[in-house]
Structure formats: C-alpha cells, structure tokens
Amino acid sequence: MKILITGGAGFIGSHLADKLIDGGHNVVVIDNLSTGKKENINSKAKFYEMDISSKELEAIFLQEKPEIVFHFAAQINVRDSVKDPIVDAQTNIMGSLNILENCRKFGIKKIIFPSSGGMVYGDVDVFPTGEDCREVPLSPYAIAKLSVEKYLYFYYKSFGLKFVVLRLANVYGPRQNPKGEAGVVAIFLNKMLMGQEPIINGDGLQTRDFIFVDDVVDASILAFEKDEIGIFNLGTSIETNVITIFLKLKELLGLDCKEIHGLEAPGESRRSCLDFSKIQRVFNWSPKYNFESGLKKTVEWFKDQ
C-alpha cells in the first residue's frame, strides 16, 4: 500500500517507516527536520521536507495518492507549549487539521494518530489507568493531543474517515533524542556515556510506564491492518521509578556514577501507568519487550553512536 508518515524522520516515525518498507509497502515521509534527522529516513522512502501546516501539503497528497496516513509529526516539548501555547497550537492543532482536511479531500482509508497516555489523563487515582478514565490535561501540549482526538471522531462521524488513536506511555529506544526535555532513558544514557552525572529530579521515586519503540511500531501497524477504530492505551501496565532506571543503566554500562538529586520538576505527575487490556483484546497485541530487554537494546545502540 501507499502510506504517508508525517514525522517520519523522527524517533518513532523512522522506526515505523523501516518496518513498513520491510513489509513491502510504499512509504512517503513528510518531516520539517525540526527534531527529526535526515539520517533516520529509510533510503527506500520518498522524502518531502515540509511543515505539516504548509498549504503545499495538498500537492503531495494529490501527487502521491496515499491510502493510509500515520500522523506522527508534532511539537513535542511540553515546557515550550506552556511558554507559548499559540505556537504549540499552530503545529499540533492547526497542522493536524491541515492533515485531516487533506485526508478528507483525498479519501484516505484510515489515519493513525499517537496521543499521549502519560499526559491527556492528567492526575488520576486509578492505576493502571484505563481509557474510560476522565481526561484532565494539564498542559497546552496535552490539550492539543486531546483536541486532535476529538477532531478525529468528528471527521469519522461526518466524513467516514476511519481512525485509531494510540495513547502512548513513555516510549524509549534507539534514535530517541537525548537533548529534549522528555525521554529520561535517552537523557541519562547520553550523559553517562559522555562522562557526566545525570540529575535525578526530586526523590526519583516518581514512576512511569516505559514501552519499547519496537512494541509501539508493531501496535501501530496492527492499527492500520485491522478494521477496528477508536482510542487505545499503549503501555505495559508496569510502573518503573527513575532511581531504578539510573541503577539499571549504571549496571549495564559498568560505570560508577553518583546518585545526584536536583529539584523536583514543576508540574510533574507522581505516577503514570496505562492499562493496555483493550488493545490486547481488540488487536491481540501485548508488549514483547520487558524494560530490561528493551533497555539492553537501547544501551547497545547509544554505545555504537
């Protein structure tokens, strides 16, 4: 099939492109390279360097005639969204609407969109958290993700555009950007390999649900292959705290790093963990990697870099 991936030069999008191309699909990548890297792009993919808000997007849809769209392009910095909600909305809401309008105009069969399971629910008291939990997003980034989810439902009910929303837990793995404000595994790994001491925010007992990038790619492909639509959590239902990450990386790298604590990050959730039983039931998906096996693959890739 002809498949379009926005953000296909990024962390998750580039892994997805590789897997789809290996499966015999014809892949087109759109990326403005603001956070993505050209070296991540599969040589067999057709690449357009373009912002998703561009009016020229329509010409790409017209020329390439994709059947499926994976919309993975986004402004991903939560702190930046707080500093400038308008800029965040221009990319994450208006840019997404530009994608959806072109999907409508050109009869796209299905669109797959990664939302943020760690952000759209906000502070909850049910763990693991299921899709029926009330959403209370606490940042413009999270509000934008939830807004696009609602627009997807509108386009489905009004125009028949099928969709799957994957509410992702904390994704980690090869190619993750270690210089962003998210991605504690990549940030810690990069600092340790450069001989620096990583800083643990607060007491380090805050937990997250960590999912390996290959598992996310597998679920994304199932989402387009199956007929079902809707919103699905994508995680492991296991909580891991930051100190555990630090100690495991220290062990895998054989380094004698000191455990240094800094200030708590303002607005940071204490716990995050997703119930993936719905996607397990509907798509017969479950994570293949536990945290230790995924971490080993991630460490090897970063060492090779």
Domains (ranges, CATH) in the chain? 2-171+211-236 (3.40.50.720), 172-207+239-273+290-304 (3.90.25.10)
Report strand pairing: 207-208 vs 240-241.
Answer: antiparallel
Report which of 128, 175, 148 is spatially closest to residue 183, judged by C-alpha positions.
175
CA distance 68 to 51: 19
Q: How distant is the alpha carbon of residue 217 from its chain centre?
A: 10
- For 301, the token pair is 């890739």
222: phi then psi, degrees, rounded to nearest 5: -60, -35
| Cα angle value 114/63/14 (rounded, 5°) | 35
Residues 6+ apart with CB under 8 A from 132: none
pLDDT in the model for residue 267? 65
Give the residue numbers annotated as catalytic, written as ranges: 141
- For 240, the token pair is 């891991």
| Cα angle value 78/116/187 (rounded, 5°) | 55
pLDDT in the model for residue 118? 85
pLDDT in the model for residue 181? 61
Distances (CA, A) of 45 to 9, 29, 200, 215, 255: 10, 7, 39, 22, 39
Q: SS3 for the chain, per residue?
A: CEEEEECCCCHHHHHHHHHHHHCCCEEEEEECCCCCCHHHCCCCCEEEECCCCCCCHHHHHHHHCCCEEEECCCCCCHHHHHHCHHHHHHHHHHHHHHHHHHHHHCCCCEEEEEEECCCCCCCCCCCCECCCCCCCCCCHHHHHHHHHHHHHHHHHHHHCCEEEEEEECEEECCCCCCCCCCCHHHHHHHHHHCCCCCEEECCCCCEECEEEHHHHHHHHHHHHHCCCCEEEEECCCCCEEHHHHHHHHHHHHCCCCCCEEECCCCCCCCCCCECCHHHHHHHCCCCCCCHHHHHHHHHHHHHHC
CA distance 277 to 131: 10
One pLDDT digit (tens) per residue for the chain, 305 residues: 999 999 999 999 999 999 999 999 999 999 999 999 999 999 999 999 999 999 999 999 999 999 999 999 999 888 889 999 999 999 999 999 999 999 999 999 999 999 999 899 988 989 999 999 999 998 999 999 999 999 999 999 999 999 999 999 999 999 998 876 678 999 999 999 999 999 999 999 999 999 999 999 999 999 999 999 999 999 999 999 999 999 999 999 999 899 999 998 766 788 999 999 999 999 999 999 999 999 999 999 999 98
